[in-house]
């Protein structure tokens, strides 16, 4: 257990990790407050793009043209989270950045392939490689904040944001750093990207995201980014930081089954949830809420529901999928949903699963729908499951009530 606590509340195999800053860029709102209000509102219609995003607010008018949209999102979310966290007073050598993405600078790649085909090789931008590389988001963030600790990128499809937060948390828990940024970013809504997902029949033909609903027919692609500032608990207390939540545990497993389909019965997902609970030192009965991966695809929602029932019984804790509103932001989805989970804990409110109206007789879950649900905050699980069989789970808990008491 690298992040968990023993029954007495003392660290088990690592230091305690607090969430002290939140940043998010999404189609339903930018910034923690606007984002969460968007989750409580009706789902937007049509594409789930981040409209009116101005990258020049974070980069100069010349520099912004040399930074792919996904990296612009990365910097925007990270800056919001750092501003929210306040003065960290951290040694730059003991601060790190871990970001996740599914495809990195896909927009730049498509644009420059078109340039190559239409205008020839000499017209291809010399900035193509640094703009398209998947690590550009994390690298740009680290350069902007001047942190010299680990700067890493995880590329595990739709589990990338979750895995990045887990990796950042372990850097803090292990003592390698005192503060780390963990999150994910994606901007892959290009004509080629959309055509690819459409032709593999992954996207909803109706343009509706209906997680766990009997009528679900695929996901609605989205873009965005989210970042959490993760800080060693005593470091955060010493500077009087706001404590939003505590990261208690995390886990990662592989289905080793199929490049896109989940393992039968959600076996890999169930194993990941069980390991995350073990890492946190919790029993299934102590989980009060699950923020599901809930993509709105027939196979994945069923497999996740079966996995939840295997671990928690039926119907299990209250479940929501914010993808009914946000759509599926691929490598950023897990980070966006981790932010939703943390705010749900902070505000004692679980957002509803937009689009859920008709129960699937094969799915036996307590799906929060029709409106938000008030709850007494308790440890919560955030799930992400990606193409390639990548599974990731995070366990968050309410922050310690006192700046001094454990």
Measured in whole angstroms, the distance separating CA 382 from the mean position of its chain's CA atoms is 9
Task: Please give the Cα distance from 57 to 75 (Å, whole number).
Answer: 11
**Element (H or E) spanning 27, and its range?**
none
Cβ–Cβ under 8 Å, residues 379 and 225: no
258 classed as catalytic: no
Considering only CA atoms, which of 80, 254, 242, 243 is closest in space to residue 157? Answer: 254
SS (H, E, C) 319-331: EECCHHHHCECHH
293 classed as catalytic: yes
Task: Please give the Cα distance from 311 to 274 (Å, whole number).
Answer: 7
158 classed as catalytic: yes
Measured in whole angstroms, the distance separating CA 40 from the mean position of its chain's CA atoms is 18
For 247, residues 6+ apart whose C-beta sits below 8 A from its C-beta are: 3, 17, 18, 19, 165, 169, 230, 394, 395, 396
Active-site residue, from 27, 151, 158, 272: 158
Active-site residue, from 328, 369, 390, 393: 328
What are the Cα distances from residue 361, in Å, to 297, 358, 386? 16, 9, 25
CA atoms within 13 A on the CB side of 55: 18
Cβ–Cβ under 8 Å, residues 339 and 22: yes
Phi-psi region of 385 (alpha: psi -120 to 50; beta: other; left: phi over 0): beta
Positions annotated as catalytic residues are: 158, 293, 328
């Amino acid at each position: 257990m690298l992040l968990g606590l023993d029954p007495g509340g003392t660290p088990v195999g690592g230091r305690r990790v607090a969430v002290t800053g939140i940043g998010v860029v999404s189609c339903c709102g930018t910034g923690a407050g606007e984002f969460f209000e968007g989750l409580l509102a009706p789902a937007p219609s049509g594409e789930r793009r981040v409209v009116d995003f101005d990258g020049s607010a974070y980069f100069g008018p010349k520099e912004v043209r040399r930074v792919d949209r996904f990296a612009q999102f990365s910097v925007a979310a990270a800056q919001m989270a750092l501003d929210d966290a306040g003065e960290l007073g951290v040694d730059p050598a003991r601060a790190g950045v871990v970001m996740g993405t599914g495809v990195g600078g896909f927009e730049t790649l498509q644009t420059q392939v078109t340039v190559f085909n239409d205008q020839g090789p000499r017209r291809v931008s010399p900035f193509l490689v640094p703009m398209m590389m998947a690590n550009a988001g994390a690298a740009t963030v680290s350069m902007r904040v001047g942190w010299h600790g680990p700067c890493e990128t995880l590329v595990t499809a739709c589990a990338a944001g979750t895995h990045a937060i887990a990796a950042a948390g372990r850097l803090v828990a292990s003592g390698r750093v005192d503060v780390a940024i963990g999150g994910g970013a994606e901007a892959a809504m290009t004509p080629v990207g959309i055509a690819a997902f459409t032709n593999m029949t992954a996207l909803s033909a109706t343009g509706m995201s209906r997680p766990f609903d009997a009528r679900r027919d695929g996901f609605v692609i989205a873009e965005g980014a989210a970042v959490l500032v993760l800080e060693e608990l005593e470091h955060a207390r010493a500077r009087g930081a706001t404590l939003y939540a505590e990261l208690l545990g995390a886990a990662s497993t592989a289905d080793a089954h199929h490049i896109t389909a989940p393992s039968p019965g959600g076996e890999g997902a169930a194993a990941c949830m069980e390991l995350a609970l073990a890492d946190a030192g919790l029993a299934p009965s102590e989980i009060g809420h699950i923020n599901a991966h809930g993509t709105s695809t027939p196979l994945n929602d069923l497999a996740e529901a079966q996995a939840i029932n295997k671990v928690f019984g039926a119907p299990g804790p209250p479940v929501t999928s914010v993808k009914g509103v946000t759509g599926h932001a691929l490598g950023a989805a897990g980070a966006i949903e981790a932010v939703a989970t943390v705010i749900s804990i902070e505000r004692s409110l679980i957002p509803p699963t937009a689009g859920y109206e008709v129960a699937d007789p094969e799915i036996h879950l307590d799906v929060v729908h029709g409106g938000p649900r008030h709850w007494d905050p308790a440890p919560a699980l955030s799930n992400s499951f990606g193409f390639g069989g990548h599974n990731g789970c995070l366990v968050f808990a309410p922050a310690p009530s006192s700046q001094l008491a454990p």
